[in-house]
């Protein structure tokens, strides 16, 4: 009886291994079929292709920072909150982007609320290398209703791309949109789709 039970258990284990392998294969096939999804663009605030509004702002460290003026570098404006878990997940990615794209891009963090809360957040998350702006007007100007939200502003002061970003791919899709000269990756895919009239 014991031998029979051992063989039955081995049969169950083998069946489970086959089932896991089949599921993993199906997940792989599904992953290949899904088109890349860029940042989710929200049709509010300054439009892609329009000039970013000019705002004179002050960072947490007291440095003056001007939004919307032409400069030698592009700016990635990243809206976050100390209580947003997805925002915290993206911070190491932002550090990597800041380092990898340092020849053409500045990364600026933006939020609103009490300065003391954000100063503690900067200290605990080691964000001292980023300019950090607290401004309700900035969030209202870009109609930021959900976080994390990012806006890519070109050297010419024009909004190149924007949207909700939940992962590295969505953040990098903003750079792809700028390079392709389109509003978003979805816009590009829509134009490239067979039968598209745009």
What is the tens place of the pLDDT at every residue in 161-170?
999 999 998 8
Query: Which of 23-27, 28-32, 147-151, 175-179 is predicted with the least confidence, judged by mean pLDDT?
Result: 28-32
d(CA 150, CA 101): 16
Q: How high is the mean pLDDT of the chain?
A: 87
Domains and CATH numbers, the chain: 55-192 (3.40.30.10)
Are 164 and 184 in contact by the 8 Å Cβ rule? The answer is no
Q: Is residue 185 over pLDDT 60?
A: yes
Contact present, 131 and 59 (Cβ < 8 Å): yes
Dump pLDDT digits (tens) for 94-138: 999 999 999 999 999 999 999 999 999 999 999 999 999 999 999
């Amino acid at each position: 009886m014991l031998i029979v039970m051992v063989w039955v258990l081995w049969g169950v284990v083998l069946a489970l291994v086959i089932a896991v392998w089949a599921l993993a294969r199906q997940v792989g096939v599904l992953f290949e079929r899904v088109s890349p999804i860029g940042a989710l663009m929200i049709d509010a605030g300054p439009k892609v292709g329009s000039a970013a509004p000019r705002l004179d702002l002050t960072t947490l460290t007291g440095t003056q920072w001007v939004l919307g003026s032409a400069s030698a570098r592009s700016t990635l404006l990243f809206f976050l909150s100390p209580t947003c878990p997805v925002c915290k997940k993206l911070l190491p990615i932002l550090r990597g982007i800041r380092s990898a794209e340092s020849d053409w891009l500045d990364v600026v963090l933006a939020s609103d609320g009490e300065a003391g809360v954000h100063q503690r957040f900067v200290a605990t998350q080691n964000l001292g290398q980023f300019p950090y702006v607290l401004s309700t007007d900035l969030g209202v100007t870009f109609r930021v209703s959900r976080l994390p939200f990012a806006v890519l502003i070109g050297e010419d002061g024009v909004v190149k791309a924007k949207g909700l970003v939940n992962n590295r791919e969505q953040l990098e899709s903003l750079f792809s949109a700028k390079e392709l000269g389109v509003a978003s990756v979805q816009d590009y895919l829509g134009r490239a789709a067979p039968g598209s009239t745009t």
